[in-house]
A = this chain, B = another copy of it.
């Protein structure tokens, strides 16, 4: 079932593009990234407020300090906003400020959280667990759906394998398998899926060519200075280039991008 929300029809004719910084770091960074992704034609702005990090002493996100920056970015760009939830206790606040709530790979099996998200009425982007079988991923979505929330978008973000050249192994065939067997839209995150900017545009093109429904990519005005996952972010220029190519490919494949983008 398509997810119709905020003027979008995800899983419908158009190919959806979600973009923005991994973590919101400060107003400047957030506004630069937001304007750039809007100008290039993204449909949804992403930005991390709460970050799950392997080490407890790593940067864990700005938390509520990011809320005013989100409000500014949304009003200036008119883009809907997506962010990750990391605790059941954040549900209410995030429903208030965000248009899409994302469940990250580490929480795909957090059924307690999924049940709570079954009670909200905004769309949930459910990332695949890094070692989840595709069947388990579909079952996890069912935990949300049973609560009454049918606005679910699945997001493939790479699985753990023996290969270490790429950060994860992007399982596009698995994503397509799920697309063919469930009624849910399926998008792909090539940023976490590969961890290598040079591979991201190619993987985004593949996602479109395969008939999947969208991509989510990390964009940072200055990746080398990022507080989180900088190494895998596209620069705003790289993102704009990628969008030009996706736009052409989308026309041919019958999956046009929604927005023509503007000259920023």
Contact between chains at B199 and A209 (CB < 8 Å): no
Interface size on A, residues (CB 8 A): 62
Cβ of A139: which chain B residues have Cβ within 8 Å of it? 54-56
Complex Cα gap A234–B175 (Å): 20
Interface members, chain A 188-208 (any B CB < 8 Å): 190, 193-194, 196, 198-199, 202-203, 205-208
**B-contact 0/1 string along A52-69, CB 8 Å cutoff:** 111110000000000000
Complex Cα gap A142–B55 (Å): 8
Interface members, chain A 35-86 (any B CB < 8 Å): 52-56, 86
Interface members, chain A 124-138 (any B CB < 8 Å): 129-131, 133-136
Interface status of A169 (Cβ within 8 A of chain B): yes
Contact between chains at B52 and A111 (CB < 8 Å): yes
Q: Give this chain's copy count.
A: 4
Interface status of A88 (Cβ within 8 A of chain B): yes
Interface status of A264 (Cβ within 8 A of chain B): no
Complex Cα gap A199–B207 (Å): 13
Interface status of A176 (Cβ within 8 A of chain B): yes
Cβ of A130: which chain B residues have Cβ within 8 Å of it? 131
Interface of A is mostly: helix
Complex Cα gap A249–B211 (Å): 13
Contact between chains at B136 and A54 (CB < 8 Å): yes
Complex Cα gap A176–B198 (Å): 9
Cβ of A207: which chain B residues have Cβ within 8 Å of it? 206
**B-contact 0/1 string along A196-233, CB 8 Å cutoff:** 10110011011111110000000000000000000000
User: Which chain B residue has the least Cβ–Cβ distance from A130?
Assistant: B131
State which of B56, B162, B176, B209 has its C-beta within 8 Å of the C-beta of A133. Answer: B162
Contact between chains at A206 and B55 (CB < 8 Å): no
Interface status of A237 (Cβ within 8 A of chain B): no
Interface status of A182 (Cβ within 8 A of chain B): no
Cβ of A173: which chain B residues have Cβ within 8 Å of it? 166, 169-170, 190, 193-194, 196, 199, 202-203
Complex Cα gap A139–B249 (Å): 34
